[in-house]
A and B are shown apart, each in its own frame.
Chain A
Amino acid sequence: MSGCNECRSCSDTPLLEFPESAARPKAVALIGPPNSGKTTLFNRLTGLRQKVANFPGVTVEQHSGIAELPDGRAARIIDLPGVYSLSPRSEDEQVAHDVLTGAKPGTEKPEAILLVLDSTNLQRHLMLAAPILSLGVPTLIILNMADDLRNRGGHLDLEALEGQLGAPVALISARQDEGIERVWEFLAGAMLKPSPRELPVLQDVPKCRQWAGRMGSNANYHPPAPPKWTRRLDSVFLHPIGGPLVFAAVLVLVFQTIFSYATPLMDAVTWLFVSSGNWFASQLPWPLLRSLVEVVWVKGCGSVIVFLPQVLLLYLFIGILEDSGYLARAALIADRTMARFGLQGKSFIPLLSAHACAVPAIMATRTIENKRDRFATILIAPFMTCSARLQVYLLIIAAFIPNRPILGALLSARTAAMLGLYLLGFLTAVVTARILKSSILRSGRTPFLLEMPSYRWPTVQSIGLRLVDRGKVFLRRVGTVILVVTAILFVLTKLPLIHGQAPPIEDSLAGTIGRTIEPAIKPLGFNWKIGIGLITALASRETIISSLGSIYGMDESNKAGLQQALRRDLTPGGALALLIFFAFAMQCISTIAVVRRETGGWKWPALQFAYMSVLAYVGAFVAFHVVR
């Protein structure tokens, strides 16, 4: 799906407006190394729901939100991407740097800083305290993940550290909501400028590290034991043979669940939607209005809504992979394959999340330091099978491929077909990357550095909230874009009126448009009805389902439903051609817009659109003529 909750971050406007009455709230920046839990704390303080996960680089641009202080005043909290130092190397670090130094246009320089560090790795993370304290802005140093530190037997003397650093220090666990009072006190109380006893030469990394080490040992910092479970899990997940097997098993499990175990949920949604919609339609006065509701809402939008369980399951799995820390391991396993295609393992993380939606994935490429690598990743991300494509695939596969087991209960023919389509998207993407990287985007290699986070249990709360958000976005989309496009289509099928009667659908405006483009799509095995669907899919891919649902739903001779109607109108070759067309075509306005924004012009999105369209047409043509 191309519209997504992450897109709240697409807009440049702040998430919340300032309260009109109060004085302008002071701006407070949240800064810290990647994956230290800044966004988790941000969400605690502001009650907002920015995306958090367990890998470095989840936040790629600034977000801001209002924290209401206990005394009624407010502070504006700015959540920044993670940085290792104040000398930026990648796009997301540049954002953080510019906001802190007041160089970012449109964002005021923060009056105070919350520096979030991982308490389980204090001495290295304290290195960042030196450049931050030298800014001379009131700063609270927050040592996060107190629960991990305690459980693994680490400890430190907070007061001694405060004395050393000349700034207040709080030991908290943002995830467990522990110790946050200190942060509130800081925000509400007097903010004193820091007065550190000594600061190192900032440009000299070894000196900074020595300084940080001294601060830690003077505060009697006892580092925690190495994460035992992370080591144990890694010896399975990164095992030379076991690792890739687990990786493959995870993928098969995801798809098998989406196909088989989601069916009862899907049936329940269908029943609920169809029966309530039909009841509502029967209450309406005029036949035309009744048929509008039946065709557009029940048969059109209804055929999209049934995919809600599958889309949520997909997000559930992606959420678990992200929050547990497994995603970084998957990137590690994939790195060599990616290197063969001229990319690096870091590109793998955006590409994996593009399986939900290409828009946030394209924004996530900001963590890639090398600009040419980043552009290559942006250009190939839309080939990944997003959740909108998933719905189209589910419909066509269910209509044309029998549910036959291949490997017993483990793998059915439908699951295999779906895996094949995902593989097709992935392979096309990496081959395209190879072409780009050996021609227009050739570049020297930048070293690949990826920090492996410790494994953590995904919390029910974090994943649950994300699913609720996703569900809302999905329904909002069905209720807006898809509903409007399907309704316009309905009107176009009823015009022009002949003697006050709607014409046969072939002679309607919609039918005329469809038959006008038919010569262009006939070589792909599509008739004019599919053609209309393809046009509406330009709004977003899954709209083709609601369009076809309503076009076939109007046809009185066809009572058997969308799948049977498709079987009647498409040969197996035509169905394959349709799948291939959807696998390659860039039918998503939001993606085009975000590519334009991230690459700073129309050149790249135009090239990408042309390339993907040609590939879609040629691919579908070949598929239709080979299979028939």
Chain B
Amino acid sequence: MQLSVNSSEPEAILKSLVDLRRGDAAVLDRIDMPGDDARRLMELGFLPGTTVTAGQSAPGGDPRVFQVDGSEIALRRETARRLKVRPTRRPAR
């Protein structure tokens, strides 16, 4: 399933959750995964248009915990790569 809220965004500049460093936040744009897997991610809160914040990770940066919709969910790098985000400025912290 490919869900796109803002499909006019050119693919090339879309980053994914992998590019977020700890403390960075970004708005999720779409999930590049098969229907079932995308659905489960959405049920956990990874909905296009939602803000996702990168949190702590296991040693080596994989998997990483993401704060989304009030929960903390750990994703492997291979999954996080498929969750594309809209480019945003790094929040002032």
Contacts and interface: CB of A to CB of B under 8 A. Distances in A.
B70 A120 contact: yes
A452 B63 contact: no
Contacts of B63: 332, 335-336, 345, 448, 450
Given A345-B63, A345-B74, A447 B58 contact: no
A452 B72 contact: yes
B78 A124 contact: no
Interface string A220-247: 0001001000110011001111011000
Interface in B50-87: 55-60, 62-63, 65, 67, 69-76, 78-79
B14 interface: no
Given A235-B56, A451-B73, A452-B71, 5 more contacts: A84-B44, A223-B70, A231-B55, A333-B58, A447-B41
B36 interface: yes
Contacts of A243: 58-59
Contacts of B9: none
B37 interface: yes
10 contacts: A89-B40, A120-B70, A206-B42, A206-B48, A206-B49, A209-B47, A231-B55, A234-B55, A335-B63, A447-B33
A449 B79 contact: yes
Contact of A123 (B39, B42, B56, B70): B70
B11 interface: no
Nearest to B1: A205
B24 to A, nearest CB: 16
Nearest to A120: B70
A206 B45 CA distance: 9
B73 A449 contact: yes
A87 B43 CA distance: 10
B58 to A, nearest CB: 5
B53 to A, nearest CB: 10
Contacts of A451: 44, 71-74
Contacts of B58: 238, 243, 332-333, 335-336
A295 B48 CA distance: 71
Nearest to B62: A336
A85 interface: yes
A121 interface: yes
Contact of A124 (B41, B69, B79): B69
Given A234-B56, A234-B65, A447-B75, A124 B70 contact: yes
Contacts of A226: 67
Given A447-B41, A451-B44, A121 B70 contact: yes
B71 to A, nearest CB: 6
B70 A84 contact: no
Contacts of A205: 39, 42-43, 47
A127 interface: yes
Contact of B76 (A123, A230, A241, A339): A339
Contacts of A123: 69-70
A234 B65 CA distance: 10
A173 B88 CA distance: 39
A342 to B, nearest CB: 14
B47 A448 contact: no
A230 B70 CA distance: 13
Contacts of A448: 63, 74-76, 79
A230 B71 CA distance: 12
B78 to A, nearest CB: 7
A439 interface: no
A264 to B, nearest CB: 38
A335 B63 CA distance: 7
A328 B73 CA distance: 11
Nearest to B72: A452
Contacts of A447: 33, 37, 40-41, 75-76, 78-79
A446 interface: yes
Most buried by B among A123, A205, A206: A205
A333 B76 CA distance: 11
Nearest to B49: A206
Nearest to B68: A124
A240 B69 CA distance: 25
A446 B76 contact: no
Contacts of B71: 121, 124, 451-452
B28 to A, nearest CB: 11
Most buried by B among A85, A238, A239: A238
A85 B33 contact: no
A152 to B, nearest CB: 11
B75 A238 contact: no
Most buried by B among A240, A328, A345, A447: A447
B37 A446 contact: yes
A382 to B, nearest CB: 27
A205 B49 CA distance: 13
Top 5 nearest A-B pairs (CB, nearest first) are: A238-B56, A205-B42, A452-B72, A121-B70, A447-B79
Given A447-B76, A451-B44, A240 B70 contact: no
A134 B66 CA distance: 31
B45 to A, nearest CB: 5
Contacts of A121: 69-71
A85 B43 contact: yes
Given A89-B36, A206-B3, A345-B63, A84 B43 contact: yes
A445 interface: yes
B50 to A, nearest CB: 8
Contacts of B74: 328, 332, 335, 345, 448-452
Contacts of A84: 40, 43-44
A336 to B, nearest CB: 6
Contacts of A234: 55-56, 65
Interface string A81-124: 00011010100000000000000000000000000000011011
Interface in A333-371: 333, 335-336, 339, 345
A284 to B, nearest CB: 61
B60 A336 contact: yes
Given A333-B58, A339-B76, A448-B63, A87 B44 contact: no
Contacts of B59: 240-241, 243-244, 333, 336
